[in-house]
Chains A and B, each alone.
Chain A
Amino acid sequence: MNRLRLAALGSGALFGLGLAMSGMTDARRVLGFLDVFGSRDPTLVFVLGGAVATSALLFRLVLRRSSPVLAVTFELPQTKHVDRRLLGGAALFGVGWGIAGYCPGPVLAGLGAGSVEALWFIPAMLAGMLLHRLLTRRGEVSNLGQEGAATSMLLEDSGDT
């Protein structure tokens, strides 16, 4: 396994561990947190708060570097403007989150623990992603530059042994 993959595996493991520890994997708690007019369980504020405080502090240090440790460039989203797609998409996502209490990371962690609900939710989520792709396929220009894909290909090839 090359270093890029190993690093991604480690980051993913840290992510899953954090989600499972935080309680986000228990959709009852998530709905209790979202139910601000009812049960008002504020516990999960600490999850987003802790995560955003950590990333806000450390991203600043990381982005002072000219490049990441194992790759050529930082691949950051270039879109800056707010448009209808962003608002509409975020609104729909919120409705889905509010119905069942699952966002994508926690439901994947639940899959690892054999959650029955994840087996229903995840195929539907993939179908939703596919549906979006089918509806927007024509004329869409990918905003991930070809250059980025080419450099990561070079790195992955050179790291393989």
Chain B
Amino acid sequence: MTVAWLQALAGGVLVGLSATSLLWLNGRIAGVTGILDGVVFPKPADVSWRVAFLVGLIAAGGLYMALAPGAPQARADFPRGGLVVAGLLVGFGTRMGNGCTSGHGVCGLGRLSSRSLTAVMTFMATAIATTFIVRKLWS
């Protein structure tokens, strides 16, 4: 487990550096759903940097998972219906609440925003409660 927590810490620092570089160079908040929203529902002249960010995320993340020895791998056996319901809730909820783990978590907490702190505490609480209930139901 010592390696796992070091990888977790290093990965977290890289995510923090990424959010910093996007703010420093582009002046933008690295919120994944906000960036994705601007690609799916584009505003004129505000699309290309978003596409570039997402391409970088998908390509680099995918390459690391495919090529790095011992890289954490994605699960493949979760019930499909569960994935669809979860995806709908994540998509709807992140737009309604204006952010996800990256926008409110990494960037919002980084800016010491009390609004984001409220959002993070709320989604952590419902995520923990949901995990608890789902585990009870299944075991």
Binding site for B on A (CB under 8 A): 1, 4-29, 31, 34-38, 43-56, 58-59, 62-63, 65, 67-77, 79-82, 85-106, 108-118, 120-133, 136, 142, 144, 149-150, 152-153, 156
Overall SS of chain B's interface: helix
Number of A-B residue pairs having CB atoms within 8 Å of each other in the complex: 511
Among B90-139, those with CB < 8 Å from A are: 90-98, 100-102, 104-115, 118-120, 122-132, 134-135
Query: Contacts A90-B122, A96-B87, A98-B129 hold; do A117 and B98 have CB atoms under 8 A apart?
Result: no
A122 touches B106 (CB 8 A): no
Overall SS of chain A's interface: helix
A108 touches B32 (CB 8 A): yes
A16 touches B61 (CB 8 A): yes
B115 touches A34 (CB 8 A): no
**How far in angstroms is the closest Cβ of chain B from A36?**
6
* 4 further A-B pairs in the complex, CB-CB below 8 A; given A25-B73, A52-B12: A8-B28, A16-B57, A52-B105, A128-B88
A118 and B104 CA atoms in complex are apart in Å by 22
B97 touches A112 (CB 8 A): no
Which B residues touch A27, using CB under 8 A?
74-75, 78
